[in-house]
Amino acid sequence: MSKYQKVAYYPGCALEGTAHAYNRSTKVLGGALGLELDEVKNWNCCGAMEVKNVDPKVQTYLSSRVMSIAANEMGASVVMAPCNGCYHNLKKAEHDLAHDAGSREVVDRISKKAGHPTYRAGQVETIHALDWIKDGVGEDELRRRVRNSLKGLKVANYYGCMYTRPRHIFPEKDQGPGSESTSKPHFMDDLLAAAGAENVDFPLKTACCGGAHTLSDSDTSTKLVLNILRAAEAAGADVIATECPTCHSGLEMHQVRAEKVLGQKTKVKMLYFTQLLGIALGLSPRKLGVHENVSDGLQLLKEKDLV
Amino acid sequence: MQQAESVLEEWLRARGETPTAETSEGFRLLALHRQGARGSPSFNACRETCREIAYHYNLLAGSPGDRQFREKMMGLLVEHLKLFVRGKLEVEGLGEFCCSSRPLRLESGAQETETPHG
């Protein structure tokens, strides 16, 4: 049995809000694949960008509290975070606690004040939803379970920036065959190919979506997203597969804004990779929350005879 | 390739630096990126875009068969680099990574300064 068969699940705030469909499809997909999720009890914000901006060590503490609950209260050895921001921040906290005495001191002090055990580096392994499916199930098993092949669907796989950067907080990546690459990530490509999809040659798979300044400088964000959408279309994609709630929301919202503000219309759709894999397993679009997406993926799925 | 290099030259000049004439892995673009990311780790968010430009440059030289497609992709990559650097310059000018933190800073009387990115 894979060590990822049962994991502590840390959805994070985005999956309870704008990315509800990602939360829903992750849970439904896991269930269909025989994987178990045990949600982290009383979890808190990972510190995202706002807290990190004010005090990076407080962000380290916030992320460490999530890992402390998983390790010390739930007895978990693996925490799975489908959100790139959460995944990145937990990995960063892990790295800082392993390498920085100042971070350890701050985390210990706040943890004692908050009345919970201090998290120690190495108590849990943090993984992304892509690792969970890739290592917990694998392409061969996934291929065997496909009931509704994605054959004929051309997919641009978009990973965003936080899944692979900075490289030093992901020591398990770039370890040769079988491991994820930080320069050309491929786990999502591998899984969707196993589900029958045709992955297109998409050069902007880790490019900036402008999510960081979507509020302070919306026009730049819109132009960055528009460029990603155009590149996906130029590569022949019908759909952009996503694995980050911030990127996904950004692509959807700025696609609408690009049309309204810049008069630039693009047709490519956005679907979470969990939704696409769920469709391949024969799950209904409603169960996977496709109707919750802003981008009308359902129409595309109908056109491709996938529903 | 020259357009991409000129984008990074702009970034370096805005920071008061002289753009390097050296190359890295055979490309001045990659050397310019390395120089531009020194002291600004978040600038690495365009590292792969630069590497993809170099990759497409090699593909254009090596396989003229799909030239039209590669040229289009290279154009989109350079456009992305330009937009990213423009955004970075504006954000540096604003001194804020995320506007949600601004009230906190102003309340505490802190100066608006450059803050580290995620």
DSSP string, chain A: --TTSEEEE--TTGGGTTTHHHHHHHHHHHHHTT-EEEEPTT-----TTHHHHH-HHHHHHHHHHHHHIIIIIS--SEEEE-SHHHHHHHHHHHHHHHH-HHHHHHHHHHHHHHTSPPP-TTSSEEEEHHHHHHHHT-HHHHHHH-SS--TT-EEEEE--STTT-SGGG-TTSS-STTS--SSS--HHHHHHHHTT-EE---TTTTS--SGGGTTT-HHHHHHHHHHHHHHHHHTT-SEEEE--HHHHHHHHHHHHHHHHHS------EEEEHHHHHHHHTT--TTTTTGGGSSS-HHHHHHHTT--
Q: Are residues A202 and A160 in the same domain?
A: yes
Report pLDDT for B101: 40
Q: Total domain count for chain A?
A: 2
Q: Do the domain assignments include residue B118?
A: no
Q: Chain B, 81-100: which have a CB under 8 Å from a chain A CB?
A: 83-84, 86-87, 90-91, 94, 96-100
Residues A124 and A207 both lie in one domain: no
Q: Binning pLDDT at 50, 70 and 90, where does residue B42 land?
A: confident
In a domain, A143, yes or no: no
Range of the domain at A244: 148-303
Please answer yes or no on whether B73 and A216 come within 8 Å at the CB atom: no
pLDDT of residue B93: 63
Domain contains B39: yes
- Across the interface, whether the CB atoms of A207 and B84 are under 8 A apart is answered yes
> Given this model, what pLDDT does residue B118 score?
35
pLDDT tens, position by position, A100-154 = 999 999 999 999 999 999 999 999 999 999 999 999 999 999 999 999 999 999 9
Q: In what order do the strands lie in the sheet with A78-81?
A: A36-39, A6-9, A78-81, A125-128
* Chain B residue with Cα closest to A223: B83
Q: Determine whether the interchain pair A50/B101 forms a contact, defined as Cβ–Cβ distance below 8 Å.
A: yes
Whether residue B114 is contained in a domain is answered as no
Give me the interface pTM, i.e. the ipTM.
0.84
CB nearest A212 (choices: B41, B69, B97): B97
Nearest CB neighbour to A210, from listed B55, B87, B115: B87
pLDDT at A1: 72
In a domain, A41, yes or no: yes
Of A50, A215, A217, the CB nearest to B87: A217
Residues of B in Cβ contact (< 8 Å) with A181: none
A53 has pLDDT over 80:
no
For A27, A138, A218, B74, the CA distances from A235, given in Å and listed in that order, are: 31, 27, 26, 12
Q: In terms of domains, do A124 and A160 share one?
A: no
In a domain, B88, yes or no: yes
Residue A12: pLDDT band (50, 70, 90) is very high
Task: Assess if residue A1 is contained within a domain.
Answer: no
A252 vs B94, which has greater pLDDT?
A: A252
- The pLDDT of residue B34: 96
Query: Are B73 and A231 a contacting pair at CB < 8 A?
Result: yes
Which pLDDT value is given to residue A216? 66
Whole-model pTM: value is 0.90
B-facing residues of A in 167-226 (CB < 8 A) are 183-184, 201, 203-204, 206-208, 210, 212-213, 215-217, 220-221, 223-224
Specify whether A104 is located in the same domain as A164: no
* Same domain, residue pair A88 and A189: no
In angstroms, the separation between the Cα of residue A14 and the nearest Cα of chain B is: 16
Which chain A residues are closer than 8 Å to B91 by Cβ?
212-213, 216-217
Q: pLDDT by residue (tens digit) across A174-232? A: 999 999 999 899 999 999 999 999 999 999 999 988 877 766 678 888 999 999 999 99
CATH label of the domain that carries residue A212? 3.40.50.11810
Q: What is the CATH number of the domain that holds A123?
A: 1.20.1050.140
The answer to whether the CB of A29 falls within 8 A of the CB of A278 is yes
Residues from chain A that touch B106, judged by Cβ atoms under 8 A, are: none
Which of A128, A156, A180 is at the close of a domain?
A128
